[in-house]
Chain A
Amino acid sequence: MANKLNLEVVTPTKLVVSDEVDLCTVPGTEGVFGVMANHAPILSTLTIGEMHYDKDGNIVRLAVSGGFVEVSSNRMTVLAEAAEISEEIDVDRALKAKERAEKRLQEALSGREEIDMARAKAALARALTRLKVAGKMS
C-alpha cells in the first residue's frame, strides 16, 4: 500500500474516480506533470487536457477541463469543472461541439469581439481533448 497514491477526481456533479493508483499524470497550467506515491505536496491549476492514471498496469484516460489539483500526504485530489473517463465520453456531442467552436472561431476571425475568440478557443480545446481521449481507446 505504501507505494500507492490515493487519487480522487471530483467535479461539481460527482465523484468521478476514487482509487489507489501507481501513477497519475495531469495537465497543469505550467505543463504536464506526473505524480507517484510520496510526491512532495503540490498545488497546481489545471488546463484543458488529458489526464491519465495507471493502476496495476491498466491505464485509464480522462478528459478534464479547468480546476486545480492538490497533492499532500499521499493523497491526490483533482478538482475539475468537468472530467470524463474515456468510455463515458459522448463522442457525438464532442463532434458537434467541435464543429460549433470551429464555426465560431471562423466568425471571430472575420472581425468580432476578443471575448468570443477566447471562449471559442476554449470550447474547441475541450472538444478536441474529448475526441482525443475517446478515440485512443477504441
Chain B
Amino acid sequence: MASLKDIQLKITGIKKTEQITKAMNMVAAAKFRGAQERMEEFRPYAGKFAGVMGQLAGMVDPNAFPLMEERDVKKSMILVVTSDRGLCGAFNANIIATAEKFLAEKRSEGKEVAIGCIGKKGYQYFSKQDVEMVIDITDCMARVQMVDAKAAGKECIRVFLDGQIDEVHLLYGRFVNVVTQKPTLKKLIPISAADLSEGEPAEEESGPKPTYIYEPDPEEILSILMPMFVNVQIMAAMLETACSEQAARMTAMDNASRACADMIHELTLAYNKARQASITAELMDIVGGAEALKG
C-alpha cells in the first residue's frame, strides 16, 4: 500500500492538473464564443453569395467556364482543414481518419491523390505520410483570415486549371452543436451548376423570379465570382473548423476536469483509510505497551 506521503503527493499533482484543465475549459469557452460569432457573421455573406451564384449558374453554359469543367478524374485532391493545436479530444483524429478513408478509396479506384493542409495538425500528420502535398498553410486557425483562404483557393484553382488535378474536395470539421462536430466532405472544384442551384438558398421569399439587368453580362460576372466563390467556401470551412475546435476542446477539457475530480475523490478515500489504519496501529501499540507494563 502506498504511504500517506505518496498519496498526498499524488492528490496535489492531480489538483494542479485539474486547475489547468479547468482554466483551459474556460479559455476555450471564451474563444468559442468569439469563433461562433465570426462564423455567424460570415453566414449572410456566404449564403447570399451562394444564392447569386446559383441563380447565375442556371443561365449560362457550364462548358464555357474552365472552373466548371468536369473531366475524367485521374488525380484527385483533398483539402483538409484541421486545427493548429491539440488537446481537443478526437477532433483532429476524426478529420484525419476521414481523409485517410477518402485517400484509400480513391487509390483503390486506381486514381492518383494529392493533399492540401490548412492547420498544423493535419500538416504534421500528412507530412509524415507518403502522399503528395500541394498546399500547406499552418498557424492560421487562431484567427481565421480571408488572406489564408484566398491563398489556399488560388492554389487549388491553379492546380486545377493547370490540369495537374482533376477534382478538389474540401474536408472540414462541421459544427453541428457544442457536443457534436462532424468531419464533412464537400466538392470544391469543378463547381457544378446542380450543386449551386440546390445549395443554400438566399433568405428571400421565393416569388416569381425577377429579370435582372446584368452588368457586365452573366458570363463575365460569373467568371469573376467563381474564384471568389471557391475562397468563400474555404473561408466558411475554416471558420466552422475553428469553431468546432474550440467546442471540442471545451468538451475534452470538461471531461478531463471531471476525471480529475473523480481521481481526487478516490485518492482522498484511500488517504483517509491509510491515515486511520496508521492511527489504529499506533493505538494498538500504545495499548499493548500499557498492558505489558501492568504486567
Contact = CB atoms under 8 A, between A and B. Distances in A.
Interface of A: 10-15, 28-30, 33, 40-45, 66-68, 70, 72-73, 75, 77, 79, 81
A50 B41 CA distance: 23
A45 B225 contact: yes
Contact of A79 (B45, B146, B214): B45
B216 A30 contact: yes
Contact size class for B?
20 to 34
B52 interface: yes
A47 B235 CA distance: 22
Given A68-B225, A73-B210, A81-B146, A44 B48 contact: no
A66 B210 CA distance: 24
Interface string B202-242: 00100100111111100011001100100010010000000
19 contacts: A12-B146, A13-B38, A14-B41, A28-B215, A29-B216, A42-B212, A43-B52, A43-B212, A43-B213, A44-B214, A44-B215, A44-B216, A45-B216, A45-B220, A68-B224, A72-B210, A77-B48, A79-B48, A79-B49
Contacts of A28: 215
A66 B49 CA distance: 13
B199 interface: no
Interface of chain A, main secondary structure:
strand
Given A11-B45, A42-B213, 12 more contacts: A14-B41, A30-B216, A33-B215, A40-B213, A41-B210, A41-B212, A43-B215, A44-B213, A44-B221, A45-B220, A45-B221, A67-B228
Given A70-B52, A79-B48, A29 B215 contact: yes
A33 B42 CA distance: 27
A56 to B, nearest CB: 26
Given A15-B41, A68-B52, A43 B216 contact: no
B289 interface: no
A45 B215 contact: yes
Contacts of B86: none
B13 interface: no
Nearest to B49: A79
A60 B292 CA distance: 101
B44 interface: yes
Contacts of B49: 79
